[in-house]
Amino acid sequence: MGRLEGKTAIITGGAGGIGKAAGALFAKEGANVLLVDLSEAALKAAVADIGSNRVHWFVGDVTRARDNDAMVAAAKEKFGGVDVFLANAGIEGDVKSIEDYDEARFDQVIAVNVKGVFLGLKSTMPAMRERGGGSIVITSSVAGVQGAAGVAPYVTSKHAVIGMMRSAAKEGAAHRIRVNTVNPSPVETRMMRSLEEGFMPGNADVAKQGMASRIPMQRYGMPEEIAQVMLFLASDDSSWVTGSVYLADGGSTS
């Protein structure tokens, strides 16, 4: 028996590095998985890479309430309900000072990274109540517990979802719905390639070396390593864990 045997998981940002790694691991542990993202082509590629008949896909925009409701409806139709929600969709925004940051871009980062999580909670929590409980895991970041110059909107959004998580944990406890965050340091994903280039245009490799050198373990994390922490929080192994911030950061915040 897998650690998620008989459970259904929705994963937003499911075509990205961490989302795909979590989808593969959750399916391996017995879950039915619905990957949600904006691009049908990227989702199909992710499902093909995972290669499991437990994994399906759904095109949706987390910033739209109707899309969040629709992904839950799809999970109910395909699998009978929702037990795990991994609110993983997120964007990095630009690397610019607060003075130079575009207002519309700020709004976009907050819409995806904060509003998207809020709408996901709003749609999945009632479905979890119907199942007698569940687990919600929100992808935050080390940027959710410390500052970083040049990415203020991203940092703000990742702080915000920790507060949202703590409130949701209080509300969900009576219904056996647990809510926690996972907070990675830099991970080998597309997002970090974008940030490296943003911090040092034309010298992304140098930027990566500098960021990795500031991590006590002297390297970026791998998506699969973050997925393992998410699996613990999604499974019944963490039945007494809610309202907590789980740093998976190679010692960055120690």
**Tokens 């997925």 found at:** 227
**Residue in 43, 124, 40 with CA at minimum distance from that of residue 76:** 124
Q: Which of 101, 154, 220, 246 is catalytic?
A: 154
Question: Can you spell out the DSSP letters for 214-245?
Answer: TSTTSS-B-HHHHHHHHHHHHSGGGTT--S-E
With beta carbons less than 8 A apart as the criterion, state whether 139 and 96 touch: no
Distance in angstroms (rounded) separating the CA atoms of residues 21 and 26: 9
Angle at 119 between CA 117 and CA 125, to 5 degrees: 95
**Kind and range of the H or E run holding 73:** helix 65-79
Distances (CA, A) of 189 to 12, 35, 68, 186, 208: 16, 17, 25, 8, 12
- Radius of gyration of the chain from Cα atoms? 17
Please give the structure tokens belonging to residue 20.
Answer: 């795909």
Does 154 participate in catalysis according to the annotation? yes
Distance in angstroms (rounded) separating the CA atoms of residues 144 and 166: 13
State the catalytic residues: 154
